[in-house]
Amino acid sequence: MPRSFAFAQVDVFTDTPTCGNPLAVVHGAAALCDTQMAQLAHWTNLSETSFLLPPSTPEADYGLRIFTPTQELPFAGHPTLGSCHAWLTAGGQPKGHDIVQDCAAGLIRIRPDAQKLFFTAPPLLRSGPLAQDLVARACAGLGLDTAELAASAWVDNGPGWAALLLNDHSRAMALTPDYAILNGMRIGIVAPSPEAGIDFEVRGFSAGGFEDPVTGSLNAGIAQWLISADIAPTQYVAAQGTALGRKGRVHVVQEGREIWVGGAVQSCIEGTITL
C-alpha cells in the first residue's frame, strides 16, 4: 500500500533560490527499500536525491543515503548540506554543537555559521597527480592541450573526482566537454577568478554526461589539494555554475588540520510525496 512521506526540495550553495544546486529530500525514509529509493532518484532526475534515516550509531544525529538517477553515492557535499538544512527546518535538534551525519562515508560533522552550513571535508580516497594517460584523455575530452594545464590531481573523496588546474579563467569558461571521450570520468576544472570577492572558478563535468551546477564533494577535494599544495589560501570563495547561469558560491575555511566547506541553503518546496 502506498505511503506518504514528508518531502522537501532545497537549493544549495546559493543566497538566491533557483540559482544553486537543487536537492530532493525525503524525511523518515526507513520504510523505503533500495529499489524504491533508486526509482525515486531516477524519477526526480535531479543530480541527487537524499533520504533521511535514523542513525546507526549513537554519535550521529541522523542517517543519510544519497542517490543519483543512476547510482548510490557514499558521500556528496550538496546533499549533505541540503539534507541537514531540511532536517533542521523540520525541527531536528542536534545532540551537540556540531551536527553529525551518518552516511556510507562515515560520520560527517556539519556546523552552522553565519546563515550558512559547513561540513568537514572527508579524507581523500585517492590523491596525487593523475597518470599521463588519464590527463591525455581528459584533455582530449575537453579540447585542451596538455600544455595549458598548470597541474592535475585526484581529488576523490567518494564520487571519483579528478581535477585539472588552469591558469586562464576565460579558457576554463569556454570548455565544451565531449562526454563520449571522457567516457565516465568525473572531471573538475579550477581556475583563478577575476571577479571581486571570488578566488576561484570551478566547473564539474559528471560521469552522467552533464555539468553539475555546484558540487560540494568536488570543491572539498579541490580545497584539500590546493591548500596542501600552497596554491590556495586557507580561506577562500569559489564560484561554480556560472556557465549554466547559476550563482553558486562555495566557502572554504581551514581550521587546524580540518577543512570546512560550506554555503547557504534555501528552502524551495515543502510537502508530502506518496510512494
Distances (CA, A) of 167 to 68, 83, 98, 173, 199: 32, 34, 37, 12, 12
Exposed/middle/buried for 51, CB within 10 Å: 0-12, 13-18, 19+?
buried
Q: Which of 48, 72, 148, 195 is catalytic?
A: 48
Nearest-angstrom CA–CA distance, 242 and 246 = 5
φ, ψ at 175 (rounded to 5°): -65, 140
Grid cell listed for 158? 567518494
Distances (CA, A) of 64 to 39, 58, 239: 17, 14, 26
Nearest-angstrom CA–CA distance, 117 and 127 = 26
Residue type, 274: T
48 classed as catalytic: yes
Grid cell listed for 58? 549513537
φ, ψ at 185 (rounded to 5°): -70, 145
- Please list the active-site residues: 48
